[in-house]
Structure 1
Amino acid sequence: MSSPTPQLISPVQLPSIQLPGLGPVLLALLPNSGPTVGGNTVTLFGLGLAGTTSVLFGGASATIVGQDPLGLTVTVQPPAHAAGSVLVTATNGAGTTNPVSYTYVVTAPPATPTAAAIIPPTGPTTGNTPFIIAGSSLQNGTVTFGLTPATVLGTDPTGTVLFGITPAGPAGGGNVPVTVTTPGGSASVPGGYTYVPPAPVVTGTLTPVTAAAGSTFSIAGAQLFGATVLFGATPASGVAVNLAGTALTGTIPPGISGSTVAVTVQTAGGTVSAGSFTYL
Structure 2
Amino acid sequence: MQSSAQNQLAFPFPPLPPLPPFPGFPVLGPTLLAVAPAQGGAGEIIFLVGFNLNSPTSVTVGGVPATGVTSIIPGFLLTAVVPAGVTPGLAPVVVVTPSGSSNPFPFVYTTITPLPPVAAAILPASGPAAGGTPFTILGTNLTGASVTIGGNPATGVVVNGSGTVLTGISPAGTAGNQPVVVTGPGGTTSVPGGFTYTAPVAPVAASITPATGSTAGGTTFVISGSNLTGASVTVGGNAATVLFVHPSGTTLIGITPAGVAGNAAVVVTTPGGSATVPGGYTYV
TM-score (norm: length of structure 1): 0.51
1:221 pairs with 2:224: no
Residues 126, 168 of structure 1: 8 Å contact kept: yes
Q: 1:109 to 1:123 in 2, by over 3 A?
A: same
Matches within 5 A, 1:234-253: none
Q: 1:178 to 1:89 in 2, by over 3 A?
A: same
Q: CA deviation at 1:102?
A: 0.9
Q: 1:25 to 1:275 in 2, by over 3 A?
A: farther
The gaps in structure 2 that reach 5 residues or longer are: 1-12, 21-27, 201-226, 246-253, 255-263
Q: 1:222 to 1:262 in 2, by over 3 A?
A: closer
Q: 1:109 to 1:61 in 2, by over 3 A?
A: closer
Partner of 1:163: 165
Q: CA deviation at 1:153?
A: 1.7
Partner of 2:15: 16
1:141 pairs with 2:170: no
Residues 174, 196 of structure 1: 8 Å contact kept: yes
Question: SS state of the match for residue 276, structure 1?
Answer: coil
Partner of 2:229: 200
Q: Distance in 2 between matches of 1:195 and 1:18?
A: 78
Q: CA deviation at 1:101?
A: 2.0
Q: Distance in 1 between matches of 2:243 and 2:190?
A: 33
TM-score (norm: length of structure 2): 0.51
Q: Distance in 1 between matches of 2:167 and 2:67?
A: 41
Question: SS state of the match for residue 52, structure 1?
Answer: coil
Question: SS state of the match for residue 150, structure 1?
Answer: strand
Q: 1:144 to 1:30 in 2, by over 3 A?
A: farther
Q: CA deviation at 1:17?
A: 4.0
Q: Deviations over 1:142-191 (max 9, x none)?
A: 446643241222446xxxxx313334866x99788744221123334453
Equivalent of residue 39 in structure 2, options 33, 56, 70? 33
Residues 112, 137 of structure 1: 8 Å contact kept: yes
Question: SS state of the match for residue 101, structure 1?
Answer: coil
Partner of 1:91: 96
Q: Distance in 2 between matches of 1:153 and 1:272?
A: 44
Q: 1:185 to 1:56 in 2, by over 3 A?
A: same
Partner of 1:182: 184
Question: SS state of the match for residue 242, structure 2?
Answer: strand
The gaps in structure 1 that reach 5 residues or longer are: 1-13, 157-161, 209-215, 225-245, 247-259
Q: Distance in 2 between matches of 1:168 and 1:184?
A: 23
Q: CA deviation at 1:118?
A: 0.6
Q: Distance in 1 between matches of 2:268 and 2:199?
A: 19
Question: SS state of the match for residue 16, structure 1?
Answer: coil
Partner of 1:151: 158
RMSD: 5.1
Q: Deviations over 1:235-271 (max 9, x none)?
A: xxxxxxxxxxx9xxxxxxxxxxxxx999655556x99
Q: Distance in 2 between matches of 1:68 and 1:127?
A: 56
Question: SS state of the match for residue 56, structure 2?
Answer: coil
Q: Distance in 2 between matches of 1:196 and 1:17?
A: 79
Q: Deviations over 1:43-78 (max 9, x none)?
A: 2323543422243445x3433443237533241435
Q: Distance in 2 between matches of 1:199 and 1:149?
A: 27
> Which letter does structure 2 place at the counterpart of 1:163?
V
Q: Number of aligned residue pairs: give it.
A: 212
